[in-house]
Amino acid sequence: MTWLTWRQARAQLLVASVALAALAVYLVSLGGSIRRFYDERIAGCEGQACYLARWDLRAGFDDGVSVAMVLLLAVPGLIGVFWGAPLVAQELEQRTERLVWNQSITRRRWLAVKLLVVGLCGAAMSGLFSLLLTWSVSRYDQVVGGRFAALGFASRNLVPIGYALFAFVLGSVIGMVLRRTLPAMAVTLVVFAAVQLLVPTAVRQHLVPAVTTTVAVDAAVLNSGVGMRLNEDDTFDLQGYVAEGSWSLDFSAPLSKADGSSYTGEDAKPCLLPEDMAAGDACVVAQDLHFEYTHQPADRYWTFQWIELSMFVGLALVLAGFGFLWIRRL
């Protein structure tokens, strides 16, 4: 059965391998350029030059990195649509299942081998691409930060493997149920896209209970690019604070004074010194303010990678289980 599966998938695996090889060449050269830039301008830099170099790195490589990222995000979808959906649907459509299911092999075994061989190839391709990309842009990631950003998280390290497996089995099962290749491809695309939108926006942050810490407003906080917003009820919110490498779950948080009461417009008036920013900041710091910071800490990055990988592999297994039940009814 492995032979037949290999024979049927040969052409598509070859095309995918060629595409992956081309991507590898691109990613290795991109990685080389980023590294050279980093070594020349960022390693050991100081002060303003450092700030400028970081800015130039982003400006210079944003497009190249984005293209690779979007491609990697698309790969599981492509595997689901072009490998998964036709896997069984095409056999049913061309009625060849009546030939192969009458050889001395049970339908379940047939399905198991097909899912395993093609699915593992898909997972391997996705994993290899992710490995290359993660290596290639590691210096860029180091400078830019934000490893929990939706697109960045989904296109690095382990999770692309889970997405590929899930998309592939999803496509296969949808094809099995719909029995027609084209509708199965369309439905697979829609369902997979919906899952890929839903997970980063509504699911991922709840996978591990968030941590809330009390952060004191000091000079470092004020210099990290945050803003203070006066609300209609005369209280202040602190907006845009992100602790190094962590995943901030609330964009703004109410500011409180040392006694726990809200920081109001009245309280802020003495520190309104538009002609001397530094003095104004020092004044705010002296007021001993704090706020609650709800986030996922930076050291949970790998926890999230593993959880999400397991979640998608688990979903793939559940779907495959459904497929094994369903194939008896065909």
Residues 162-181 that bind other proteins (CB under 8 A): none
Q: How far is the CB of 56 from other proteins (least distance, A)?
A: 52
- Closest distance between other proteins and the C-beta of residue 173, in Å? 19
Please pick, from the candidates 36, 58, 98, 229, the single residue that binds other proteins as defined by CB under 8 A.
Answer: 98
Residue from 232, 260, 269, 328 touching other proteins (CB under 8 A): that is: 328
Cβ 179 to other proteins, closest distance in Å? 14
| Residues shown for the chain | 330
Binding to other proteins by CB under 8 A, coded x per residue (else -) over 52-71, reads --------------------
By CB under 8 A, tell whether 325 contacts other proteins: no
Q: Is 109 exposed, middle or buried (0-12, 13-18, 19+ CB in 10 A)?
A: exposed
Q: Report the phi/psi class of residue 31: left, alpha or beta, with left for phi > 0 and alpha for psi in -120 to 50.
A: alpha
Distance in Å, CB of 3 to other proteins, minimum: 5
Taking the complex as a whole, how short is the minimal distance between the CB of residue 144 and other proteins, in angstroms? 47
Cβ proximity to other proteins: between 1 and 273 the closer is 1
Query: With respect to other proteins, which residue has the nearer C-beta, 269 or 328?
Result: 328
C-beta of 4 vs 24, nearer to other proteins: 4
Hey, which residues does 293 pair with through a beta bridge?
A: 213
Contact segment (CB under 8 A) with other proteins among 97-105, 240-248, 280-288, 311-319 equals: 97-105
Among the listed residues 17, 29, 66, 103, the single contact to other proteins using CB under 8 A: 103
| CA–CA distance, 52 with 62 (Å, rounded to integer) | 15
Establish if 7 lies at the interface with other proteins (CB under 8 A).
yes
Q: Which of 8, 134, 155, 196 binds other proteins (CB under 8 A)?
A: 8
CA dist 25 → 69, 126, 180 (Å)? 15, 16, 37
* Binding of other proteins by 206 (CB under 8 A): no
Nearer to other proteins by C-beta: 2 or 201?
A: 2
Q: Per rule CB under 8 A, is residue 99 in the interface with other proteins? A: yes
Q: Is 3 in the site for other proteins (CB under 8 A)?
A: yes
Does residue 96 interact with other proteins by CB under 8 A?
yes
| Stretch 104-133 residues interacting with other proteins (CB under 8 A) | 104-107, 109
Does position 278 bind other proteins by CB under 8 A? no
4 binds other proteins (CB under 8 A): yes
What is d(CA 212, CA 228) in angstroms, rounded to the nearest whole number? 20
- The pair of three-digit structure tokens given for residue 171, joined into one six-digit string: 């496509």
17 binds other proteins (CB under 8 A): no
C-alpha 158/C-alpha 134 separation (Å) is 10
The footprint of other proteins (CB under 8 A) covers 1, 3-4, 7-8, 94-96, 98-107, 109, 328-329
